[in-house]
Chains A and B, each alone.
Chain A
C-alpha cells in the first residue's frame, strides 16, 4: 500500500521548513535509513531519512520549495511492485514515517494560538507610542536575527564585548542565534564553553569585575539554575557589598519559559524569580525591534542584566526600524494599543495572548489598552498606573507560575497607588501552579491562553 512521506518536524517548535534538495528521484528504491532529502529549518539544514523501504513513486513537493508546513505530504512511497499511480488510501496514512502524530498535535493543538500569527505580525502589533524619527523605514526581521544583530553591532563597537556559552561558536548557537558570529569575530570573542554553567558563569563574572563586558548565553535559563549562586550572590550583590567600588557589566541571556512539549525541567519561566533580586536588571521583550534595542542597551549597561528570550518567538518576524545604532531604554514600558475599557499588562510571549485578546474583544466592543512592560526590573509601574487611572480596570498576563508572580506585584502596586480608581479587582492570568506537563493536552491547559485573558477582561468589565 502506498504511503505518504510527510514533512517532518525537526525541533519542538518547528512549524514549517524549506525542502532544500531531494537526494532521491522518482523510481528510486530506498531502504530504511537512506537519506531522502535535505530540509532547511530556520535553525539548520537537516537530512531526512527514510523509515520504510519501498520505491519513490511520486515527489509531491519540488526542490527549493519554501514554507512547507509540517505534516504536508512531500512524496509517495510505493511498496515493491505497486504502480506509480497508486495513491495513499487515507491522507496521513502512517505515523511512523515522520513521527507525524506528535507533530500534528503540536501544530494543531498546542501551537494554534501560539503560532498562528507567526508569518505576519498580529493586527494590533503596530505600537501606538514609538519615538522614532519621521521617515524611518522598517525591515522585517526575526527575533533570532535581531538578537544576533544586537550582539554583533555591540561587538563591533567595543573590543571588550565577547560572547560565551555552550555551542555559541562552531555550532552557531543551539537555537542558531549566533549565526555567523564566529566567522566575524573569531574564537577569542565567540567562545564555546564546556557544559559547566556554574563554572563559566563565575569566570564571566570575574571577567566583568575586571572590566570586560561578557555576554553569557545560557542554552536555556533552566540551566542557569546551576549558576544561580554566581548570578545572585556574585554578580548582583557585589556592587552594594563593595560600597559602589565594583561594577559587573554582564548580560545573561537565553531562552526562558515554555517551548513546546519539552517537559517540566525545560519549560520554567524565571521572570518573577529574577525580578526579585536587587542589583539585577531584568528584561523580557516581545517583539524583534525591542529585542534588538533592549539587548544593545543591556550590553552597554554597567550592571548585570538578565535578558529573558523565548524559543517560540525566535522565529517570529516583526518590523525592526532601519536606524543605525537602534537602542531602546531599559525600564520603559511600551503601549501597543490604546483603549478605554481595560488595561491589559503583559511582557514576553504573554503579549501575544494580550494582543490577540484585545483584537477579539474589540470585535465585541470592548476597548483594551495593551501595555508591554518589556523590563521587569526596574519596572515602569508609572505607565501602568496612568493607564489604570484611565480605564479603571486591569488584567495581567504572564506565562509564569501564579504564586509571587509579576501580576501579583502589579496588583499590589495598583492597589497602593490607584485604589480609588479601580472599578474591579485586578485579575492575574498566569501559567498554572504545576510543573509543566509533557502531554500535549495537559501542557495546553497549564499555559495561559487568549480565552482566559478574554474571560478575565469580561469579568473585570462586568460583561
Chain B
C-alpha cells in the first residue's frame, strides 16, 4: 500500500501544459454556461456541475490510449469533454434536443459515446463501479492492453457493490483504474459524517488493491499518478485505486443551496487551490505563455461554448415518434 506521499512531478512540457489549460478551461466555461442555461429554464431536471474538479479527468486522460474505456456517475460533463466528445452534442443533450448524444432521451446524467468509449453517465450512486470493472473484464477476456477508468465519488465509496467489485477485480486481476473523486461532500453529507475511515485510497487494502492519495487539484500530480496506475493495470497486475482529493465549487446539483458548508470554505479553495489558476501560474510564471496567449485561448474556448449553447438551443426537440424507439435492439 502506497502512503499518501506526493508523487513526483512530471517534467513540464509547454505544449502539454497549454493543452491542459485549454481542456480544463473548456470544462469550466462549458459548465458555467450550463448553469446559466439551467437558470433560464433551458436545461431541466438534475444538473450536476464539475466546476473545481477539472484537473482529474484532464490529467487522467493523458494516460489513456485508443480503446481505453471510461465510465462515471451523473457528474459527467467534464469526463465527456475530456475524452473528446463534441461540446455541441453534450450541451444539446442537456437541453433535451434531437442533436444531443442520446437524442434527448438521456439528459445530463445519461450520455454515451461508443466512438469515444464513454460508457455513461449513470444515475444510481455506485452502479458504474461494477460496470467499469465489467469493461475491464472485457479487456481481460479479449486479452488486449486496454484499461478502463471507473470514476466515482466519496459518497459512492461507501456503497456495497463497490467492495463486491474490488473483490472480484482483484481476484481476477482486471485492468481497472478506480478513481475516487473525493470532493468532500456526498450531496450534503461531509466525508467525516459519512465515512468511518476518511482515507479512501486505503479502501482496497482488504482486497490487496494498491491505492494512493493524489492532489486532484494539481493536473500534473494527477497525470503522474494516472500514468503509474495505468502502467500497473496494463502490465496485468490487476486494479489500482486513485483517491483524487478535490472540491466542487457548486452545489451537489443546481437545486442545492449548499448550506452544509461555509462560503469561506469554498472561497478558500478557489483562492488557494484552483486547478486552472495553478496551470496558468505555471505557464505565465515559467514564461511558457504570456497573458495575451492565454487570453487568446480564453476567447477561443468562449467561442466553442457559445457555439455549443447555440446549437443546443436551436436543435429541435425529438420527434414525438421517438418515444417508442431505442427500447430494444433489433435482433439480427
Contacts and interface: CB of A to CB of B under 8 A. Distances in A.
Interface of A: 162, 188, 193-194, 196, 198-212, 229-230, 233-234, 238-247, 249, 278-279, 281, 297, 300-303, 330
Given A243-B105, A246-B114, A300-B331, A229 B127 contact: yes
Contacts of A206: 71, 119, 130-138, 148
Nearest to A377: B328
Question: By DSSP majority rule, is chain B's interface helix, strand, loop, or mixed?
Answer: mixed
Contacts of A209: 119, 131, 134-135
B137 A207 contact: yes
A238 B119 CA distance: 10
B105 to A, nearest CB: 5
Given A206-B119, A229-B124, A245 B328 contact: no
Which of the listed residues B100, B137, B160, B163 has the most CB atoms from chain A within 10 Å of its own CB?
A: B137
A165 to B, nearest CB: 12
Interface of B: 69, 71, 100-106, 110-114, 119-124, 127, 129-139, 141, 148, 160-161, 163-165, 167-168, 171, 325-332
Contacts of A245: 101-102, 112-114
B331 A302 contact: yes
Nearest to B162: A199
B141 A207 contact: yes
A198 B168 contact: no
A194 B130 CA distance: 14
B327 A240 contact: yes
Given A206-B134, A229-B127, 7 more contacts: A202-B133, A202-B161, A206-B137, A209-B131, A210-B139, A233-B127, A242-B102
A93 to B, nearest CB: 50
A194 B167 contact: yes
A204 B136 CA distance: 11
Contacts of B141: 162, 188, 207, 212
A190 to B, nearest CB: 13
A205 B131 contact: yes
A207 B165 CA distance: 13
A190 B185 CA distance: 41
A210 B119 CA distance: 9
28 contacts: A194-B164, A196-B167, A196-B168, A198-B164, A202-B131, A203-B131, A203-B137, A205-B134, A206-B132, A206-B136, A206-B138, A207-B141, A208-B134, A210-B137, A229-B124, A234-B124, A238-B110, A241-B120, A243-B102, A244-B329, A246-B112, A246-B114, A279-B327, A281-B328, A297-B331, A300-B331, A300-B332, A302-B331
Contacts of B123: 233
B202 to A, nearest CB: 20
A386 to B, nearest CB: 24
Contacts of B106: 241-243
Given A206-B130, A206-B134, A243 B100 contact: yes
B134 A202 contact: yes
Contacts of A241: 102, 105-106, 110, 112, 120-121
A188 B79 CA distance: 32
Closest 7 A-B residue pairs measured CB to CB? A206-B134, A202-B130, A199-B164, A210-B138, A243-B103, A244-B326, A206-B131
Nearest to A202: B130
Contacts of B120: 238, 241-242, 246
A209 to B, nearest CB: 5
Contacts of A234: 122, 124, 127, 131
B328 A200 contact: no
A212 B138 CA distance: 7
Contacts of A297: 331
B329 A247 contact: yes
A278 B327 contact: yes
A427 to B, nearest CB: 32
Contacts of A300: 331-332
Contact of B165 (A199, A242, A243, A247): A199
A240 B325 CA distance: 8
A242 B85 CA distance: 14
A193 B69 CA distance: 23
Nearest to A233: B124
Contact of A211 (B138, B325, B331): B138
Contacts of B134: 202-210
Nearest to A235: B131
Contacts of B124: 229, 233-234
Given A209-B135, A245-B114, A202 B327 contact: no
A126 B183 CA distance: 64
Contacts of B103: 243-244
Contacts of A247: 329
A244 to B, nearest CB: 4
Contacts of B113: 245
Nearest to B134: A206
- Among A162, A207, A212, A241, chain B packs the most CB atoms within 10 A around the CB of A241
A301 B332 CA distance: 8
A391 B59 CA distance: 70
Nearest to B330: A302
B168 A203 contact: yes
A246 B131 CA distance: 13
A300 B69 CA distance: 25
Given A200-B168, A242-B112, A245-B114, A207 B135 contact: yes
B69 A210 contact: yes
Nearest to B150: A206
Contact of B130 (A205, A233, A242): A205
Nearest to A301: B331
Given A207-B137, A302-B329, A202 B129 contact: yes
Nearest to B137: A207
Given A199-B168, A200-B168, A241-B105, A303 B137 contact: no
Contacts of B111: 242
Given A206-B135, A206-B138, A209-B119, A198 B130 contact: yes
